[in-house]
Structure 1
Amino acid sequence: MTNPMQARQRPFRNHAARHFLFETDADGRVATITLNRPDKKNPLTFESYEELGDLFRSLARASDVRAVVLTGAKDNFSSGGDVFEIIEPLTRMAMPDLLAFTRMTGEVVRQMRACPQPIVAAVDGICAGAGAILAMAADFRIATPEAKTAFLFTRVGLAGADMGACGILPRIVGQGRAAELLFTGRAMTAAEGLAWGFYNALHERPSLLGEAQRFARTIADGPWFAHAMTKKMLDQEWAMGIDQMIEAEAQAQAICMATGDFTRAFKAFAAKARPAFEGN
């Protein structure tokens, strides 16, 4: 008998993206999303925002993808919203349309945080504005020494409160450092980002993408159901008190213990073998 929930899943190995590049490794476990407008340092458009949000939402039904790498083409991550394709039209919009736009951009972050796959941002060169937000919204961030990360909103007369920055960034780098970056709009160097905990590691430019994909593969080959639970708990526990945290994690861990992965890992340990995680 067909499992109706499993029937809702589909492979993404042959997924065709329209406004960026999407590819997976041979078995589909690691997907790489590449922002691919290198002539303009990979800016975002109305269409790419919408497609990114839709893609991260649909990855919840992926039968193959277990981790995602997000990067940019040709030595830059992303310069943020395209000046002429996004910024200029926004200056002519009325409030209801502006709110629809800011909700659409925020939805990308919401779906990045909600999708079960851990996301690794591989950052090189310019990582600015909404590009910095995408890196911030990832679960892990690695960069090159040339990476320059700037939350530029104040430079164009806007608040630093964009796409969740005032809530998420302080949890990564601390309140004081986040305030400095969001008020001044200055670029955070790669060395600062590493020291402050924004970046998990730095790698030279030629090896960046390979290192990101290698790390993503270690995540994908691990207990991916349990990794998805860890990601969910990391998000949900922001707004919990200690009693709620302990109870939520008790329930989460009991669910993971009920999977075959837990039993398989024990048997593999006892046999001095490597466990195979299947997520069921």
Structure 2
Amino acid sequence: METRKVLEKLKEGLISVDEAESYFKKKPYEEMGYAKIDSSREIRTGFPEVVFCSRKADEHLLEIYKRLYEANGEVLGTRANAHQYEVIKDELPQVVYDDISHILKIEKKDKKHIGKIAVCTAGTADISVAEEASQTAEFFGSYVERIYDVGVAGIHRLLSRIEDIQSANCIVAVAGMEGALASVLGGMVENPVIAVPTSVGYGASFNGLSALLTMINSCANGIAVVNIDSGYRAGYLSTQINRLAQKGKCN
């Protein structure tokens, strides 16, 4: 529960002073032996803890997932697989799994989505990473417009959507091969571009290293680069930018 909600419940008489005091006396994390649930992360950063599912033992993943769901009423997991989905679904049947993005989530209904983030891919092979970014941003409350398969091999496709892209508070450019999409976008928009290199490509792409180096060395300004295939980090960072933009528009 967030600090503000505790104070509101206290003000409304829904909880006692002792109950409110016990909340504030809690440790900032919950000890589980094999994990420490960071229960105060949303208070500190504005984002709750997210579960990186890959390589976790089934029993560890299940208990962590359950604790976070009990604490927040929703939970986001990344890099999950179909087996892990079945493990979670046995105890939390409302969980949803997407086998494209490998997102495993329980999400609150009627969530409000603010602002606008444009998530663009160079090709359809980049969509799995783009969906990790898109669904992460949506989980955190951002409105996302997907603009897929607009790579520079057919730049007319990109130009046909440029007004939609320019109206976004932040742009996520997901590309493998030589990773040129981010540079092109960086020269056409006024808002920040987050470049996501993907491991898509033939041998000399070096599993995304070629795209990474292109994006880091871009001659266009206003481009930030995250790690190879790191859709989650792009979704998180773009949401931070989107939130700041919306605050500015409200002031």
* Structure 1 length-normalised TM: 0.29
More strand as a share of residues: 2
Greater RCO structure (CA 8 Å; 6+ sep): 1
More helix as a share of residues: 1
